[in-house]
A and B are shown apart, each in its own frame.
Chain A
Amino acid sequence: MSNLTRITENITIQSPDFGELEVSPGNIFYLENGLLGFENLNNFVLITDDDIAPFKWLMSIEEPSIIFPLVSPFLIMSDYKVGKEIDLEKNVLFVVVTLNDGKGNVSANLKAPVILNSDDLTGEQRILITDKYNVNHIINNTK
Chain B
Amino acid sequence: MLLLSRKKGEIITIGKSVQIEIIDYGRGSVTIGVTAPKNIPVHRKEVFDAIVKQNQQAVATNVSALKKVLTSVQLEDRK
A binding-site residues for B, Cβ under 8 Å: 17, 35-38, 49, 51-55, 66-69, 71, 74-78, 96-101, 104, 106-107, 109, 111-112, 125-127, 135-136, 139-142
Contacts and interface: CB of A to CB of B under 8 A. Distances in A.
16 contacts: A17-B62, A53-B79, A54-B79, A68-B55, A68-B59, A76-B75, A76-B76, A96-B54, A98-B58, A98-B61, A100-B57, A106-B69, A106-B73, A109-B54, A111-B50, A126-B41
A36 B67 CA distance: 25
Contact of A69 (B47, B53, B66): B66
B12 interface: no
A99 B69 contact: yes
A139 B73 contact: yes
Nearest to A80: B76
A135 B69 contact: no
A36 B51 contact: yes
B67 to A, nearest CB: 6
A101 B58 CA distance: 10
A114 B8 CA distance: 37
A140 B72 CA distance: 5
A74 to B, nearest CB: 7
A109 B48 CA distance: 12
A29 B50 CA distance: 24
Interface in B21-79: 41, 43, 47-48, 50-63, 65-67, 69-70, 72-79
B75 A139 contact: yes
